[in-house]
Structure 1
Amino acid sequence: MQRKISEELYAEAKNYFPGGVSSPVRAFKSVKGAPLFIKKGNGSQIWDEDDNQFTDFCCSWGPLILGHNNDAIREVIVATVANGTSFGTPTRWENKLGKLILNNNRFIEKIRFVSSGTEAVMSAIRLARGVTGKDKILKFDGCYHGHVDSLLVNAGSGLVTFGVSSSAGIPEAFAKETLVAPLNDLDAVEATFKEHGNQIACVIIEPVPANNGLLLQHRSYLEGLRKLCTQYNVLLIFDEVISGFRVGFEGAAGYYDIQPDIITYGKIIGGGMPVGAYGANAEIMGNVAPDGGVYQAGTLSGNPVAMAAGFTAASQLLEEGFYANLEQTTQDFVAKIQSYCDNKGYEVHINTIGSIFWIAFSKDDIRRADQINPDSMEKFKILHAYLLDNGIYLGPSGYEVGFISSAHTTEELANAVDKICQGMDLVHQ
Structure 2
Amino acid sequence: MYTELAASVIGIYLVYRIFIRLRLSRAKHPSLRGHSKWSRRIAKQIPFFSYDQKYFFACDGAPEDIQQKRKAALEQLKNHANSSSPKTIAFLSQIKSSISDIIFTSAYRIPFPFRDVLHKELLLGSIVDESKGVQLKDIDGNWRYDLSGSYGVNVFGYDFYKDCIQKGAEKVQDLGPVLGPYHPVIQQNVEKIKKIAGLDEVSFHMSGTEAVMQAVRLARYHTGRSHLVRFCGAYHGWWDGVQPGIGNQRQVNDVYTLSEFSEATIKVLETRKDIACVLINPLQAFHPNSDGPSDSTLVASNRATHFDREKYADWLQRIRNICTQRNIVLIFDEIFTGFRLGYRGAQEYFNVQADMVTYGKTLGGGLPIGVLCGKHHLMKRFKDDSPAFVSFARGTFNSHPYVMGTMNEFLNRIESPEIQQHYSQIESIWNERVQRWNDKLAAKNLPIKIESMHTILTVIYLLPSRFNWMLQFYLRANNLELAWIGTGRFIMPFNVSEEDFENICDCFIQAVEQMQADQWWWQPENYSNKVIQRLMLNDILRAKFPILSKIISSPAAPVYKSDKETIKRVS
Shorter-chain TM-score category? 0.7 to 0.9
CA deviation after TM superposition for structure 1 residue 104, in Å: 3.7
What are the Cα deviations for residues 354-410 of structure 1, in whole angstroms up to 9, with x where unaligned?
3222222259xxxxxxxxxxx77842x232211211111122224742222233222
C-alpha distance in 2 between matches for 1:86 and 1:400: 41
1:148 pairs with 2:239: yes
How do residues 8-407 of structure 1 correspond to structure 2 at under 5 angstroms? 8-18=90-100, 20=102, 24-25=104-105, 29-30=109-110, 32-70=122-160, 72-80=163-171, 82-83=173-174, 84-105=176-197, 107-154=198-245, 166-168=247-249, 170=250, 172=251, 175-183=252-260, 185-193=261-269, 197-209=272-284, 212-213=292-293, 216=307, 218-287=312-381, 293-320=390-417, 321-344=421-444, 346=446, 348-361=448-461, 378-379=467-468, 381-398=469-486, 400-407=488-495
Change (3 A) 1:254 1:428: same
Q: Which residue in the other structure is 1:368 paired with?
A: none
Structure 2 unaligned regions, length at least 5: 1-80, 112-121, 294-304, 518-571
CA distance in 2, matches of 1:353, 1:109: 30
- Distance in 1, Cα, partners of 2:320 & 2:200: 19
Amino acid at match of 1:36: S
Q: Is the 8 A contact 2:364 2:403 kept in 1?
A: yes
Q: Which ranges of structure 1 fall in alignment gaps of 5 or more residues?
A: 155-164, 364-374
Q: CA deviation at 1:423?
A: 2.7
TM-score (norm 1): 0.84
Shift of 1:74: 3.5
**1:14 to partner: Cα distance:** 2.8
Percent identical among aligned pairs is 24
Cα drift, residue 421 of structure 1: 2.2
CA–CA distance in structure 2, aligned partners of residues 394 and 115 of structure 1: 25
Change (3 A) 1:260 1:215: farther
TM-superposed CA distance for 1:348, in Å, is 4.1
Q: Deviations over 1:197-221 (max 9, x none)?
A: 2111111120222770466462122
Q: For residue 7 of structure 1, what is the aligned residue in structure 2?
A: 89
1:45 is displaced (CA, Å) by: 1.3
CA contact (8 A) 2:458 2:489 kept: yes
CA contact (8 A) 1:28 1:34 kept: no
AA at the equivalent of 2:243: L
Q: Report deviation, 1:230.
A: 2.5
Report the TM-score, using the length of structure 2 for normalisation: 0.64
Structure 1 residues 411, 303: closer, same or farther in 2, change over 3 A?
same
CA contact (8 A) 1:116 1:274 kept: yes
After superposing the two structures, state which structure 1 stretch, 49-58 or 308-317, moved more.
308-317
Q: Which sits farther off after the overlay, 5-14 or 133-142?
A: 5-14
User: SS of the residue aligned with 2:273?
Assistant: helix
Q: Distance in 2 between matches of 1:228 and 1:376?
A: 43
Code of the residue aligned with 1:153 in structure 2: it is: P
Is the radius of gyration larger for structure 1 or structure 2?
2
The residue aligned with 1:159 is: none
> Is the alpha carbon distance of 1:226 and 1:14 closer, same or farther for their aligned partners in structure 2, counting shifts above 3 Å?
same
**SS of 1:89 mapped into structure 2:** coil
Is 1:19–1:27's contact at 8 Å kept on the other side of the alignment?
A: no
Judge conservation of contact 1:100–1:311 (CA < 8 Å) in 2.
no
- Equivalent-residue separation in structure 2 for 1:59 and 1:205 (angstroms): 22
- Deviation at 1:103? 3.0
| Cα deviations by residue, 1:27-58 (Å, 9 ceiling, x for unpaired) | 66338421111222222111112221111121
Question: Deviations along 1:296-332, whole A, 9 cap, x unmatched?
Answer: 1111111111121122122222223121233333223
Measured after TM superposition, the shift of residue 177 of structure 1 is 0.9
Q: Could you tell me which amino acid in structure 2 is paired with residue 121 of structure 1?
A: V
Post-superposition shift, 1:143? 0.7
The CA distance in 2 between the partners of 1:376 and 1:133, in whole Å, is: 50
User: What letter corresponds to residue 87 of structure 1 in structure 2?
Assistant: L
What residue number does 1:158 align with? Answer: none
Tell me the distance in 1 between the aligned counterparts of 2:447 and 2:438. 10
Following the alignment from structure 1 to structure 2, what is the Cα–Cα distance between the partners of residues 377 and 74? 44
**Corresponding letter in the other structure for 2:492:** I
Q: In 1, Cα distance between the equivalents of 2:202 and 2:487?
A: 31
Query: Could you tell me which amino acid in structure 2 is paired with residue 421 of structure 1?
Result: I
Instruction: Give the 3 Å change call, closer, same or farther, for CA 109–420 of structure 1 in structure 2.
Output: same
- SS of 2:319's partner is helix
Report the residue type matching 2:277 in the other structure: C
Runs (4+) of structure 1 exceeding 6 A deviation are: 288-292
Write the deviation string for residues 119-156 of structure 1: whole angstroms up to 9, x where unpaired: 011011101101111111111121111111211223xx
Aligned equivalents of 1:100, 1:308: Cα separation in 2:
14
Change (3 A) 1:332 1:319: farther
Instruction: Give the match for residue 561 of structure 2.
Output: none
Deviates more, 1:288-297 or 1:110-119: 288-297
Cα distance between partner residues in 2 of 1:92 and 1:28: 44
Q: 1 CA distance for matches of 2:501 and 2:212?
A: 34
Q: Which amino acid aligns with 2:450?
A: I
Alignment length (residue pairs): 398
CA contact (8 A) 2:129 2:137 kept: yes
